[in-house]
Amino acid sequence: MWQESNDLKVRMVSQGHAGLPAARNSGIFATQQSWIALLDADDVWCPIHLALLESAAESFPESVLVFGDIYIFSETAVVCEWFSRKKAAMRGVSMQEGKCYLSGSGLYESLVMGNYIVPSGLMFSRQAAALIGFFDENLKVMEDSDFLLRLSRLGGFAYVANMTAGCRSHEGNITHEKNLLQNNYFAFQVLREILNDSCQLALNESEKEVTREGQSMMAENLIYSASISGLVAYMKALFILFGAGFYGKALNPKNFIRALFYTLNRVSRND
């Protein structure tokens, strides 16, 4: 096993609750290791995880991040296997079992429409992460999407086609459907900030267009999830989309009717 040949001390870092991005950064700042691997509290690493990712980093020294595939499990069963490979395939990225290879030139574009790399399944270069300012602590969620999009501008990602980690599925997950509105809001904000920083990130016209398309899709997701949450959430989302110039999507009457319906339905149930 990897840990048998690597003498690393374990250190517990405690801090007040400041959100997931701040917790990730605190862990990173507590070490001077050149490569950082993440493990969320409710996830597990397979015994081969660190060894395979380290091997990939050595095989592809030009990479800034390496990641393995994951399986998703509940309290009673494995819910999904080969999560990254399946998600990547939906975005036109080919990933084959039993291989380790470096991502192609379309890495950034493949990540715009949604992340297929899970934090507990990856390892990244500390030096590269420092260049992008580590994790954005202004983001309550979707900090991993922002981090990966920015990191992809600095170099390639190497994929290890083995399931090296398991992610637990439960109602407490940040990505659970009950958090849909919050997730859609921050997904929209991430792409908004990426476009604002397009010159600094050296996005070409094709990459900008893909990002605008992604932001437009996130705008639709945001106003829809806000409308099914009722009029208050709908009005907040309306204000956000107005500020970003998405007037057409914001003023679609279907969204207002939907928000009114869900609000009246909740009122009637409470009477």
Tens digits of per-residue pLDDT, 56-101?
999 999 999 999 999 999 888 888 888 888 888 777 777 665 577 7
Give per-residue pLDDT as tens, 148-200. 999 999 999 999 989 999 998 866 555 556 678 999 999 999 999 999 999 99
Six token digits for residue 70: 């994951």
What is the pTM assigned to this prediction? 0.90
Give per-residue pLDDT as tens, 116-136. 999 999 999 999 999 999 999
Contact in structure between 241 and 215 (CB atoms under 8 Å) = no
Residue identified by tokens 């602590």 is 137
